[in-house]
Structure 1
Amino acid sequence: MKKYDIQPTEENIKESLKDNVTGRNENVYQLLQLLNHQEGSWSIAINGDWGSGKTFFVKQCKYVLDCLNSSDDSQKGNINSEKLFNKENLDDIDKKPFRTIYYDAWEHDNETDPIQSLLACIATSNWASNPKLKDTIRKTADIGVNLLKVITPKRGEAVEDLINLVDKKAKDYKDKVDLEKLKKEFYDALVELAPEDGKLIVFVDELDRCKPTYAIKVLERIKHYFSVPNITFIFSVDLSQLQNTVKRYYGEEFDGYHYLDRFFDLVINLPEPDLDNYLKNTDGMLVLNNLFDTWADDNYCNHFCKDLIAHFSFSLRQINHFYLKTNSVTYNLLSNVLDDRSRLGSSEKNGLFIVYCFFLPLMCALNQANIDEFNKFIRGRASDNVLDFLANNSQFDTYYKDISSDSNDKKDTSTFTREIYNALFNGTERNDHLVISDTAYIDRLSIYKDRLIKACSLLDSNTKLD
């Protein structure tokens, strides 16, 4: 088994832009255009649910900015030659010089103060090796260390590490320090980190996953000490989760939304991905398609899985996990049904195709989307909403009509859906045999409830692991 999640490595970021995998290239362009036209200090929130691709999106933005501002002309040429955007030229996103930093807040969650880790990210950035910037970075870090000594009760080992990182040793300071003067020195040092007539862009990721104490401190430290006209902070967050973080810190009655409004000048909702484009560019993810030979990706199972993804509004990460599980639990079972060499007759195959092509993927989706609905489903108490979705699904309806077109007692799809569900999960067919039509039936009904539940557990002997 292998995971389908695509890690945001530089190569994957590059390829995702080249193929416009999520259909968000135009959104990347729009955000970079905004950065090129903004003036003063900004704090922007890119809002999206967990798993919606926020990290990929901000890293795509960072990659394009880094290429456009690279001293290597070939890097900038790559952005032009690949035709990543539907534009004749890139003037609107190449008006100003930029430097970028990516800060994973969750990675630094256990540290004492975010100032030290933000400065460490600056000191280890890809542009920090520039000889012209070394002294500025060291000065900024040195002032930052002194600032920490004043605003935190104890310096701690992490600050010592920061001192060592920039080859500085701690100095003796008087007991009384003019904090405002120190803040002004820090402000002036930060200004020098941005390119002339340009911007330093700091991408802050995973803030909503941090412990409440650290998440709040990140926001407040940036607000109080990093509000510099030529520095823009871009936070990729799930605002609904971040509001909960704020409430856990200040209390459930606290207004988390208005609190966050103090920190973000602009909130941009991450547009939904282009699912057709995503699935097209991740060709082969639904391994079940291999079973249909000449049908290729135009088969009931493929279309039904896409309908499930749309119905449950799965995020990109959820799509990856859904396909991983559906492939694993369904492949061998469905393969036996479709195999011409199996001992199953055509009528029994037609019946079992419903079980493994429709009921099993539905159970996989329910298990991922709503565990309470899944538990009700396997206990014979499926909600009307779930059964109505199946009955009204065009793929399911088309298949049922195909196998019952010649039947004299053909039922409507809603009645048939509940009949087969109750036969499988409530044992309503006493003879353990369900006739669906003249060309389809399910024999030994009692074995399939247990088989389906075991398949969804991934511990069934039929699970495809290779």
Structure 2
Amino acid sequence: MTAVNDQSHAWQNDRLNRQPTADLFEKIADNSQGGSVYLIHAGFGMGKSFFVGEWCKQLEAQKRPYLRFDAWKHDFSTQPLAALLSSIQSQIRKDSDRLESRAVAGAIKKFASKAAPVLLKGGVRVTARLLSLGAIDGEIDTIREALVQEGVSSADSITDELLSAFSESRYQVDFHEGLKGSFSDFISSILTEDFDRAIVLIDELDRCRPQFVFELLEDIKHILTSENTIFFIFCDLDVLESQASKIFGSKEGGEKYLSKFFNLKLQLPDTNRSQFCKNALADAFLATGADRKPPFEIGKLPDILAQSSLSLRQCIEVAKFTQLIDACDRDLLQEGILLCYLLVLREGYPDVYRTHQSAHQGTGLPSRFLDPRQDTFQMANAVSHLLRLDRGTEIDGLIERLEHDDTVRVNDPSLYHMLRHVIKIDRFWRPRETIGDFIDQIVGRIERLGSIRM
């Protein structure tokens, strides 16, 4: 958990306009049943950590009780609960204005002492798993059967002695309830008159080892949820489901297991991508210190990026690549629209991009770029058509042949003009040069610069 003390700059760089989403999540927290756990889905590079960081600043400004746990920073730990305790204590030390008091210190000390058996005895970890599967009250054979059925383990890997320790009585269940109560007492010690619940934010879970992920989820479910906590877990649900399916042997088994942990699955809306990409491109050129603006030849790049399936992080990388091109091979920027599409393919569609690196006819653009409802459709259609042409087609007279050659005929007159713009036929007048030569020299120059990028 990380303390955030800068209260005055929340959402200053909110290029995706996500503050309203944070406000909405707070309303959900205020009107949810205590102990609710929400999964917030967003793919890799889609701004989860930025959102969590800015939301923490907002919560800080409101003096609203919250805790933040960066799971990835503690993935090395073999005990997620121990990592959680360490982070809480670290936050108390760093954020003394908000959390330090005798009551808080006493509550966390009590929780730590209660949790000690969990940290010292691996056997209690199995109890959490059994609780998750709903088998703690059963006989040994029933428990073993549940474990095998759910895909937790093979029948031989759980010893009778270990199972007996959990089926003799409800001691372990009572122990977990006591531990949950002590954590609830700690949360109560950081609450205020205005807020009777603490928001707990878990970030970067999808980057952790599967064992760490599921042990932490079990700890949250059976130890950390209480009437005075609301959990928001930010991760890529696809990654989580993939991990669970491998552990439990099937997609259905994994989804069934995960469903036990979340009251509701939500997502960060992917809004205002075009503006984000415009800002990313502008920032890439401002970073040179020369107060330069992006060249007009690549002015359509943000719109192309916005239509793509690239993550926000990948969009930033494409923008930075154009700045490198501007610094090292500025003439390459003259290829404008075609260059933009090739850079996007290189970053986000490597299999398609590789077809255009070869001497064979390319595959054009992915279908998502060829939606007639998009403003970029005409230029995407022209680029895709160009990339699909026979690589031996000569540039000289291309437009005229488009009108008469049945092998390359297109019926949309606007396509002729767009193709003329894409390959700049009036400027690019090299007799006998082919489409293959034209594309190869652009890709080759891209790759020369790509070879020096990390």
Structure 2 distance, partners of 1:15, 1:434, is 58
Q: Which residue of 1 aligns with 2:36?
A: 42
**CA offsets per residue over residues 81-101 of structure 1, 9 Å max, x none?**
xxxxxxxxxxxxxxxxx4222
| Residue among 443, 446, 454 paired with 1:456 | 446
Q: Secondary structure at the match of 2:65?
A: strand
Residue type of the alignment partner of 2:254: G
| Alignment partner, residue 118 of structure 2 | 147
- Counterpart position of 2:102: 131
Q: CA deviation at 1:121?
A: 1.3
Q: CA deviation at 1:366?
A: 0.6
* Matched residue, 1:233: 231
After superposition, the Cα gap between the structure-2 partners of 1:276 and 1:204, relative to the gap in structure 1 and judged at 3 Å, is same
Structure-1 separation of matches of 2:59 and 2:357? 50
Matching of residues 73-92 of structure 1 within 5 Å: none
Amino acid at match of 1:367: R
CA distance in structure 1 between the aligned counterparts of 2:176 and 2:367, rounded to whole angstroms = 62
1:118/1:434 CA distance change after superposition, 3 Å: farther
| Distance in 2 of aligned mates of 1:153 and 1:184 | 13
**Matching residue within 362, 384, 388 for 1:382:** 362
- Count of aligned residue pairs for this structure pair: 369
| Pairing of 1:88-237 with structure 2 (within 5 A) | 98-125=64-91, 126=95, 127-152=98-123, 178-194=171-187, 195=191, 198-237=196-235
Worse-matched range after superposition: 43-52 or 386-395:
386-395
- Which of 390, 393, 398 lines up with 1:428 in the alignment? 393
Mapped pair 1:270 → 2:231: no
Matched residue of 2:283: which SS? Answer: coil
Give 1:251 deviation, angstroms. Answer: 1.3
Match of 2:313 among 309, 317, 325: 317
Partner of 2:303: 307
RMSD: 4.0
2:411 counterpart residue number: none
> Gapped runs of 5+ residues in structure 2?
126-168, 400-419
Equivalent position of 2:415 in the other structure = none
Partner Cα distance (1:395, 1:183) in 2:
57
- 2:359 is equivalent to residue 365 of structure 1: no
TM-score (norm 1): 0.67
Contact 2:177–2:223 (8 Å) recurs in 1: no
Structure 2 letter corresponding to 1:252: S
Alpha-carbon distance, 1:18 to partner: 2.8
Q: CA 1:275 to 1:357, structure 2 compared with 1: closer, same or farther past 3 Å?
A: same
Structure 2 CA distance, aligned partners of 1:418 and 1:103? 49
State how far apart, in whole Å, the 2-side matches of 1:330 and 1:421 are: 28
2:24 equivalent to 1:30? yes
The runs of 5 or more residues in structure 1 that have no matched partner are 1-7, 70-97, 155-175, 339-352, 400-412
| Residues in 1 aligned to 2:181 and 2:379: alpha-carbon distance in whole angstroms | 69
Instruction: Check the 8 A contact 2:242/2:251 in 1, yes or no.
Output: no
2:264 aligned partner, one-letter code: L
Q: Which residue of 1 aligns with 2:428?
A: 441
Shift of 1:449: 4.2
SS in 1 for 2:12: helix
Is the 8 Å Cα contact of residues 217 and 261 (structure 2) preserved in structure 1? yes
Question: What's the offset of the Cα at 1:417?
Answer: 6.6
| 1:254 Cα offset (Å) | 4.1
Tell me the SS of whatever aligns to 2:58.
Answer: helix
Secondary structure of 2:34 counterpart? coil
Identity among equivalent positions (%) equals 21
- Indicate if the aligned counterparts of 2:40 and 2:233 stay in contact, CA closer than 8 A: yes
Q: CA offset at residue 255 of structure 1?
A: 2.9
Tell me what 1:336 maps to.
331
Alpha-carbon separation, structure 2, partners of 1:23 and 1:307: 17
- The alignment's TM-score, normalised by the length of structure 2, stands at 0.69
- Opposite residue 62 of structure 1, the aligned amino acid is C
- Pair 219,117 (structure 1): closer, same or farther in 2 beyond 3 Å: same
Aligned-residue offset at 1:325: 1.8
Letter in 2 for 1:440: R
1:263-301, CA deviations, whole angstroms, 9 ceiling, x for partnerless residues? 10121121113124424555723539x9xx99x669452
Shift of 1:453: 2.7
Deviations 1:113-154 (A, max 9, x none): 111111111111124533331121111112111333345489
